[in-house]
Every structure is written in structure tokens, then in C-alpha cells.
């Protein structure tokens, strides 16, 4: 009977351990001035140390099957253990950047910039803009306005192969 109680309490204890570890990493990150990426990497590392690798394998297999079929996910397809892990991961903040263009300028020109200055960018008005997640290009879209805010309408999601090709071309030259 005691063994059953220990097994039943195990997921709760595990959740408490995860919450404590998360809090500790958050405090360390704030003290060190660490970035969100560092915190996410630490959190990922901690999750990888989790002894329940079969759940991780189940998540990976389910995601892999769905991505091959280009289907969406429903919560009913996952076990409660997987849902708990996904909930933790889904709360990690990630920086999304929309890049409408860029330009290289010598420091001398930058120092001459004034409030009325106009900088011409390397893109045309009708050219798609880039959506980057943590600095990695993942999609392209069109610039829109929603109320008084800018917005982006996703027109294309880059495949993993396209992202690898872009990164390798940036490294080469």
C-alpha cells in the first residue's frame, strides 16, 4: 500500500521539483542578467535529465507523425504526462522579430542621421517580410495594420531544409 502511495505521489513530487528548478533558474537568470534564450536552454537541459524518457519519445513520435501529415494537434491525442510537459514548454517565452529590411551604413553616415532622415532599405514595398523566432528565419509574410498596430499575415512557412540552407549560405558568405 505504501508503495502505491509513493508511486501516486511521484508525478506531484516531480512537478514540485520541476517548479523549484524553474524558480531557481529564473532567480539565477535575473542575478546574472541572463537572456531568455539562456533560461530556455537551461530549462531544456533540465528536462533532458528527466528520467522519464519514454514520455519524451512519445512526444517526439507524435509530433513527427503529425508534422509528416501536416495535421494539427488536439489535446486528446496526448497522455496527461505529455500534456504536463507540453504545458511547461509552452510557457517559455520566445522572441519573435519581424524584419522589414536592413542596410549597412558606415558609422559616419549613422552619426549624420537626424529626425528628418530617410534610410532606404534593401527591400521593395511588395516584397515579403521576414518573421524570425530567436533570430532564425521561420516564415515570410505581408505587413498589415490592425487597429493602430502593425501586424504580419503569414504567407509562407519555411521548411527545415530551407532554414538550414539559409543559415549555411549566411555562414559561407
Local mean pLDDT, 10-residue blocks, the chain (173 residues): 45 62 64 60 62 56 58 65 80 88 94 94 88 87 90 90 78 70
pLDDT of residue 154: 93
pLDDT of residue 40: 67
Does residue 51 sit in the same domain as residue 100?
Answer: no
Does residue 36 sit in the same domain as residue 57?
Answer: yes
Cell numbers standing for residue 37: 534564450
Angle 29-32-35 from CA coordinates, rounded to 5°: 55
Q: What are phi and psi of 168, to 5 degrees?
A: -65, -35
pLDDT of residue 107: 96
Q: Which domain holds residue 119?
A: 96-172
pLDDT of residue 42: 65
Does residue 82 sit in the same domain as residue 6?
Answer: yes
Quick check: 167 and 136 in contact, CB under 8 A?
Answer: yes
Does residue 7 sit in the same domain as residue 79?
Answer: yes
Amino acid at each position: 500500500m505504501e508503495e502505491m502511495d509513493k508511486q501516486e505521489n511521484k508525478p506531484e513530487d516531480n512537478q514540485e521539483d520541476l517548479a523549484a528548478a524553474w524558480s531557481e533558474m529564473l532567480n539565477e537568470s535575473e542575478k546574472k542578467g541572463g537572456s531568455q534564450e539562456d533560461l530556455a536552454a537551461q530549462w531544456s537541459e533540465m528536462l533532458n535529465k528527466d528520467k522519464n524518457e519514454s514520455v519524451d519519445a512519445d512526444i517526439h513520435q507524435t509530433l513527427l507523425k503529425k508534422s509528416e501529415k501536416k495535421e494539427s494537434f488536439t489535446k486528446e491525442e496526448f497522455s496527461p504526462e505529455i500534456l504536463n510537459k507540453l504545458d511547461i514548454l509552452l510557457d517559455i517565452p520566445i522572441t519573435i522579430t519581424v524584419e522589414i529590411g536592413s542596410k549597412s551604413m558606415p558609422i559616419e553616415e549613422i552619426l549624420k542621421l537626424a529626425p528628418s532622415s530617410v534610410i532606404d532599405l534593401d527591400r521593395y514595398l511588395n516584397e515579403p517580410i521576414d518573421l524570425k523566432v530567436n533570430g532564425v528565419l521561420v516564415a515570410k509574410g505581408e505587413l498589415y495594420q490592425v487597429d493602430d498596430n502593425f501586424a504580419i499575415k503569414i504567407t509562407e512557412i519555411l521548411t527545415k531544409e530551407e532554414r538550414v540552407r539559409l543559415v549555411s549560405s549566411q555562414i559561407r558568405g
